[in-house]
Structure 1
Amino acid sequence: MRFSAIGISHWKSEVSIRELFFIDKQRREFLEFNTRNIPGGVIILDTCNRTELYAFCDPDVLVSALCKATNTDADFFSKHGYSYSEEEAYQHLFKVGVGMDSQVLGDVQIIQQLKKAYKESKKNLSGEFHQLMQSVFKAHKRVRTETDFGRGMASVGFVATQLALDHFKDLSNVNILLLGAGKMGKVTCKNLVSNGAEHISVINRTIERAQSLASSFDIKAHTFDELESVVANSDLIITATGATSPILKKEHFPEDGKARLIFDLSVPRNVEESVSQIENVTLVDMDSIHLANKEAIENRKKSIPAVEKIIAKELDQYEHSIERNNYILPRIKEIDHHLSSITDHELDRIKNKVDGEAFEVIEKLTGRIKKKVMAIHINRIENELEELRNEA
């Protein structure tokens, strides 16, 4: 069955385009409904930098489903997106999984996002799809333990902190508002605190989540009703929520001429574009973030050949395993069926001619003989497969 990967990402599309393909709850339900008949299931990966679909089907089927769910069309997708099949699709999935395709090379968050997408689709996936995902996860683990590709901090949250340090020089007296207490917010908060930030306020739609983050880092939690007052007091604002429309708007800011730096780390964007027109406000979105940790990134670049070797090895093992299963399993099932028919028939013939204890001994003996005969056939079939590979 043909494996395909299609999607939209930061490499080809700016944030204003990626927003159009954002998958919210309603769109996900519609997308899942329209892909329910795809054999083997579908994995939907949706992050701030990409929306991608993976499945064992023709890529046009996935493109059509995504366009229907997002009210776009195939021509528009073709202009801004990408479609891969077979080897290219496998390579792409592995590169996404290990962080080679991330905006921040070697991003540590992408594997968790991919695992979440896998978990959400797990019950509908085929055995072959499960094997593929386990191979991707294994490749990621090997890359982290066997190379320097994951060494050094280079997440988006870390980059934002580095840019803030470049701007303010010292974060200890900077009033910071963190809008969003999800995973990105937590990572960003941790980086800010570890780099000397002492005055951080967090606002989240759910006050309980804001309070939970606040207690973890000894910062202040506020309700959404306090947004304008906290914004007025802030020098640095970082937004990282899952909202599908802008939360921060021009009217939230006082006309005080105060210098403010805003990092919008969300897709769709959390900050209305008109905010950038406010005097002394600097707005930086995901497409404007430059890599601050250059040394870590350069070291990761040096590890790329080693990472590619690991991907090639794990992908080869996966394909070898699938080829083996497709060749061997049907033959083994056929032999097992014939052997079972013979042994069951012979056991039935003597079942009433011997006592129960003797029959149990004969039954166990027959089972052991059957296993040994099966082992001989499995070994023979594997040798046949190896000979076919060598001839190819």
Structure 2
Amino acid sequence: MRFSAIGISHWKSEVSIRELFFLDKHRRQLLEFHTKDIPGGILMLDTCNRTELYAFCDPDVLISALCKATNTDREFFHEHGYIHTEDDAYDHLYEVGTGLDSQVLGDVQIIQQVKQAYKKAKKKGLSGEFHQLIQSVFRAHKRSRTETDFGKGTASVGFAATQLALEHFQDLSEIRILLIGAGKMGKVSAKNLISNGAEHISVVNRTIDRAKQLASSFDIKAHAFSDLEEEIKKADLVITATGAKNPILHPEHFQGVEHPQLVLDLSVPRNVDPAVSEVENVTLIDMDSIHKANKKAIEQRKQSVPEIKHIIEEEKGDFMKRVKRSRYLLPRIKEIEHRLSDITDAELDRVKHKMDEDSYSQMEEVTRRIKKKIMAIHIDRIDQEFEKAQNEA
């Protein structure tokens, strides 16, 4: 069965399109239902910038399942999405995992998102070949950081947001900053803001305990969600990064604010109603407007791209060789093992009535060890046959 990858991402679709394919809990459950019969399992990768499905099946199966789960149609997907099969699909997964395909080149967060997707996929069940593929992608990512300069400098979306704030305000130490959301992006944003001089940061979250936990980690202030409107009025910079399905900030939240405000919406689906951009004194920037802020790091990473592609080719080549080897060896090994079992079982049955229980148990153990040694000889022979065939190909 061929390997396929389908998806929607920032390269082809605006945030207003991407959020239509966002996989909340209900949609994920529907998607799991519609893909439950795919042999080998499925990897669902869902981030701010992409929704992607990977599986060993026909891509039409994945497209159909995604459209059913998100209440979209196939024509709409084909207009805004993409399809990769076989070698292109493998390349795409490696490029996503190493950060080559990220909005911010070399984004450090993507590998953690792939690992989370893999963790969820394992619970549902993945084939051995799928496991090997993901582990190979992880090795490619690790090598990209240890063998090249691709991981040097900070160029994540959270850092890019901080750079936009610096360009807008110049000095972060004097401005009042409000973080809405105490998740991973909120944590990354707080860390980057503080490292760039921010001193007056508050965090608001629907769950006050999570806000307090984040606040204690960075010595900032935590507020209940009921304080949201009041805190927005005080802030010079508002950064939203929550998992809300619909906008939580609307024009009325910013009405009456007399000082200039910068609002950075780092969420997909969007947390801020686009109409907020029309409010006087407010500058709204969403995910599609975030640029590569750390230009030096990005340029350095661009120089490493050929090395990363070489690493991908090596890791993919090793993976494909292991797959070919498994596909060559396994059926032959199973056939020999089956024939050996037939022979040994028949011989044991022939002498069973002539032996007491202890003697028969010893005979079974001796037979098992002999069988294991014979299998090792055959596996070595078949492996040599495979290597010879590969060298002659």
Normalising by the residue count of structure 2, what TM-score does the alignment of the two structures yield? 0.96
Is 1:28 paired with 2:28? Answer: yes
Query: What residue in structure 2 maps to residue 194 of structure 1?
Result: 195
Query: What residue in structure 2 maps to residue 316 of structure 1?
Result: 317
Q: CA deviation at 1:372?
A: 2.5
- Secondary structure at the aligned position of 1:323 is classed as helix
Q: CA deviation at 1:351?
A: 4.1
Q: Equivalences for 1:66-85 in 2 at 5 Å?
A: 66-85=66-85
Letter in 1 for 2:66: L
Partner deviation per Cα, 1:341-391 (whole Å, 9 max, x = no partner): 222332343445456666555544433332222122112212222233233
Query: What residue in structure 2 maps to residue 224 of structure 1?
Result: 225
Q: Equivalences for 1:117-136 in 2 at 5 Å?
A: 117-121=117-121, 122-136=123-137
- Secondary structure at the aligned position of 1:114 is classed as helix
Is 1:378 paired with 2:359? Answer: no
Structure 1 gap ranges (5+): none
Query: What residue in structure 1 maps to residue 252 of structure 2?
Result: 251
Is 1:178 paired with 2:170? Answer: no
Checking the alignment, whether the CA contact within 8 Å between 2:255 and 2:279 is kept in structure 1 is no
Report the Cα distance in structure 2 between the residues aligned to 1:40 and 1:345, rounded to whole angstroms: 35
Query: What residue in structure 2 maps to residue 329 of structure 1?
Result: 330
Is 1:65 paired with 2:65? Answer: yes
Query: What residue in structure 1 maps to residue 209 of structure 2?
Result: 208
Label 1:75 to 1:357 Cα distance change in 2 as closer, same or farther (>3 A).
Answer: closer
Q: CA deviation at 1:264?
A: 0.6
Aligned residues: 392
- Secondary structure at the aligned position of 2:107 is classed as coil
Report the Cα distance in structure 2 between the residues aligned to 1:184 and 1:45, rounded to whole angstroms: 17
Report the Cα distance in structure 2 between the residues aligned to 1:358 and 1:65, rounded to whole angstroms: 58
Query: What residue in structure 2 maps to residue 10 of structure 1?
Result: 10
- Secondary structure at the aligned position of 2:173 is classed as coil
Query: What residue in structure 1 maps to residue 138 of structure 2?
Result: 137
Q: CA deviation at 1:309?
A: 1.4
320-329 or 369-378, which deviates more: 369-378
Report the Cα distance in structure 1 between the residues aligned to 2:172 and 2:63, rounded to whole angstroms: 45
Partner deviation per Cα, 1:100-156 (whole Å, 9 max, x = no partner): 100011111111111111111243222221111111112111212221111111111
- Secondary structure at the aligned position of 2:13 is classed as coil
Q: CA deviation at 1:265?
A: 0.6
Structure 2 gap ranges (5+): none
Report the Cα distance in structure 2 between the residues aligned to 1:57 and 1:135, rounded to whole angstroms: 20
Query: What residue in structure 2 maps to residue 291 of structure 1?
Result: 292
Report the Cα distance in structure 2 between the residues aligned to 1:202 and 1:85, rounded to whole angstroms: 44
Checking the alignment, whether the CA contact within 8 Å between 2:257 and 2:281 is kept in structure 1 is no
Letter in 1 for 2:217: S
Q: Equivalences for 1:85-124 in 2 at 5 Å?
A: 85-121=85-121, 122-124=123-125
- Secondary structure at the aligned position of 1:214 is classed as helix
Normalising by the residue count of structure 1, what TM-score does the alignment of the two structures yield? 0.96
Report the Cα distance in structure 1 between the residues aligned to 2:362 and 2:26, rounded to whole angstroms: 61
Report the Cα distance in structure 2 between the residues aligned to 1:380 and 1:207, rounded to whole angstroms: 64
Report the Cα distance in structure 1 between the residues aligned to 2:16 and 2:263, rounded to whole angstroms: 18
137-146 or 280-289, which deviates more: 137-146
Is 1:49 paired with 2:34? Answer: no
Checking the alignment, whether the CA contact within 8 Å between 2:20 and 2:70 is kept in structure 1 is yes
Report the Cα distance in structure 2 between the residues aligned to 1:64 and 1:205, rounded to whole angstroms: 35
59-68 or 380-389, which deviates more: 380-389
83-92 or 376-385, which deviates more: 376-385
328-337 or 341-350, which deviates more: 341-350
Checking the alignment, whether the CA contact within 8 Å between 2:182 and 2:205 is kept in structure 1 is yes
Report the Cα distance in structure 2 between the residues aligned to 1:299 and 1:256, rounded to whole angstroms: 41
- Secondary structure at the aligned position of 1:202 is classed as strand
Checking the alignment, whether the CA contact within 8 Å between 2:276 and 2:284 is kept in structure 1 is yes
Query: What residue in structure 2 maps to residue 304 of structure 1?
Result: 305
Report the Cα distance in structure 2 between the residues aligned to 1:106 and 1:184, rounded to whole angstroms: 17
Report the Cα distance in structure 2 between the residues aligned to 1:218 and 1:266, rounded to whole angstroms: 24
Report the Cα distance in structure 2 between the residues aligned to 1:216 and 1:256, rounded to whole angstroms: 30
Query: What residue in structure 2 maps to residue 367 of structure 1?
Result: 368
Query: What residue in structure 1 maps to residue 340 of structure 2?
Result: 339
CA RMSD of aligned residues (A): 1.6
Report the Cα distance in structure 1 between the residues aligned to 2:363 and 2:301, rounded to whole angstroms: 63
Query: What residue in structure 2 maps to residue 280 of structure 1?
Result: 281
Identity within the alignment, %:
68
Report the Cα distance in structure 1 between the residues aligned to 2:163 and 2:37, rounded to whole angstroms: 46
156-165 or 381-390, which deviates more: 381-390
Letter in 2 for 1:254: Q
Checking the alignment, whether the CA contact within 8 Å between 2:45 and 2:53 is kept in structure 1 is yes
Q: CA deviation at 1:98?
A: 0.8
- Secondary structure at the aligned position of 1:243 is classed as coil
